[in-house]
Chains A and B, each alone.
Chain A
Amino acid sequence: MSQEHSSLTAPVAAVGRASLSVVNEMGAMALFFLDGLRLVFSSWSQFPKMVRQIFFIGVKSVSVITLIAVFTGMVIGLQTYYALAKFGSEGFLGAAVALSLVRELGPVLTAIMLTGRAGSSMTAEIGVMRITEQIDALDVMAINPMSFLISPKLAASIISFPLLTAWFDLVGIGGGYLTGVMLMGGNAGVYTSRVESALGWTDISGGFTKSLVFGVVVCTVCCYKGYFTHLRKDGVGPEGVSSSTTSAVVMSCVLVLMADYLLTSILF
Chain B
Amino acid sequence: MAAELKAAPDIRLEDLTVGYGDVAVVRDINVTLPGGKISLILGGSGCGKSTLLKHILRLHPPIAGRMYIGDHDICGLSKADFRCIKQGLGVLFQDGALLGSLTLGDNVALPLREHTRLDEAAIARIVRSKLSLVGLEDFMAYYPNQLSGGMRKRGGLARAMVMDPAILFCDEPTSGLDPINSAELDQLLLDHQALFNMTIVVVSHDLQSTWAIADYVVVLGDGRVLFQGDVDALRATTDPYLRRFLDRKAQGGAVERLEDELDRSLMKEDCSKYWTSLRK
> What is the interface of chain A, defined by CB distance below 8 A to chain B?
45, 125, 128-129, 132-134, 136-143, 148
Does A141 contact B59, Cβ atoms closer than 8 Å?
no
Does A129 contact B99, Cβ atoms closer than 8 Å?
yes
> What is the interface of chain B, defined by CB distance below 8 A to chain A?
54, 57, 59, 83-84, 86-87, 89, 91, 93-95, 97-101, 110-111, 113-115, 159
A223 to chain B, nearest CB (A): 15
Does B86 contact A140, Cβ atoms closer than 8 Å?
yes
Does B113 contact A132, Cβ atoms closer than 8 Å?
no
Question: 20 other contacts beyond A137-B93, A141-B114, with CB at 8 A cut-off?
Answer: A133-B93, A134-B98, A134-B100, A136-B57, A136-B93, A137-B91, A137-B97, A139-B57, A140-B59, A140-B91, A141-B91, A141-B110, A142-B83, A142-B84, A142-B87, A142-B111, A142-B114, A143-B110, A143-B111, A143-B114
Complex Cα–Cα for A139 and B54 (A): 11
A230 to chain B, nearest CB (A): 11
Please give me the 6 A-B residue pairs with the lowest Cβ-Cβ distance, nearest first. A137-B97, A142-B86, A133-B97, A140-B91, A133-B93, A142-B87
Complex Cα–Cα for A51 and B143 (A): 21
Q: Interface majority SS on A: helix, strand, loop or mixed? A: helix
7 contacts between A and B (CB under 8 A): A132-B95, A133-B95, A137-B97, A139-B59, A142-B86, A142-B115, A148-B114
* CB-CB nearest in chain A for B83: A142
B155 to chain A, nearest CB (A): 12
A148 to chain B, nearest CB (A): 8
A33 to chain B, nearest CB (A): 20
Does A128 contact B59, Cβ atoms closer than 8 Å?
no
Q: How many A-B residue pairs have CB under 8 A?
A: 53
Complex Cα–Cα for A125 and B101 (A): 9
**Which residues of chain A have C-beta atoms less than 8 A from B100's C-beta?**
128-129, 132, 134
Q: Determine which residue in B95, B110, B114 has the highest number of CB atoms from chain A within 10 A of its CB, and name it.
A: B114
**Which residues of chain A have C-beta atoms less than 8 A from B57's C-beta?**
136, 139-140
A56 to chain B, nearest CB (A): 10
* CB-CB nearest in chain A for B89: A140
A48 to chain B, nearest CB (A): 10
**Which residues of chain A have C-beta atoms less than 8 A from B115's C-beta?**
142
**In the complex, which of the residues A133, A140, A141, A143 contacts B94, with contact meaning CB atoms closer than 8 Å?**
A133
**Which residues of chain A have C-beta atoms less than 8 A from B84's C-beta?**
142
* CB-CB nearest in chain A for B99: A134
**Which residues of chain A have C-beta atoms less than 8 A from B98's C-beta?**
134, 137
Complex Cα–Cα for A135 and B109 (A): 17
Q: Determine which residue in A125, A132, A140, A143 has the highest number of CB atoms from chain B within 10 A of its CB, and name it.
A: A140
Complex Cα–Cα for A143 and B97 (A): 14
Does A141 contact B86, Cβ atoms closer than 8 Å?
yes
* CB-CB nearest in chain A for B163: A141
Known: A142-B83, A142-B86, A142-B87. A137 touches B99 (CB 8 A): yes
Does A134 contact B114, Cβ atoms closer than 8 Å?
no
**Which residues of chain A have C-beta atoms less than 8 A from B113's C-beta?**
45
**Which residues of chain B have C-beta atoms less than 8 A from A129's C-beta?**
99-100
Does B97 contact A132, Cβ atoms closer than 8 Å?
yes
Complex Cα–Cα for A129 and B99 (A): 8
**In the complex, which of the residues A45, A125, A137 contacts B114, with contact meaning CB atoms closer than 8 Å?**
A45
* CB-CB nearest in chain A for B50: A133
Does B111 contact A141, Cβ atoms closer than 8 Å?
yes
B128 to chain A, nearest CB (A): 19
**Which residues of chain B have C-beta atoms less than 8 A from A45's C-beta?**
113-114
A151 to chain B, nearest CB (A): 14
Known: A45-B114, A141-B114, A142-B115. A136 touches B83 (CB 8 A): no
Complex Cα–Cα for A136 and B32 (A): 25
* CB-CB nearest in chain B for A128: B100
Complex Cα–Cα for A125 and B98 (A): 14
Complex Cα–Cα for A137 and B95 (A): 11
* CB-CB nearest in chain B for A142: B86
**Which residues of chain A have C-beta atoms less than 8 A from B87's C-beta?**
142
**In the complex, which of the residues B59, B89, B101, B114 contacts A136, with contact meaning CB atoms closer than 8 Å?**
B59
Does A136 contact B54, Cβ atoms closer than 8 Å?
yes
Complex Cα–Cα for A137 and B144 (A): 14
* CB-CB nearest in chain A for B85: A142
B94 to chain A, nearest CB (A): 7
Complex Cα–Cα for A136 and B60 (A): 11
**Which residues of chain B have C-beta atoms less than 8 A from A148's C-beta?**
114
**Which residues of chain A have C-beta atoms less than 8 A from B83's C-beta?**
142
Complex Cα–Cα for A132 and B84 (A): 25
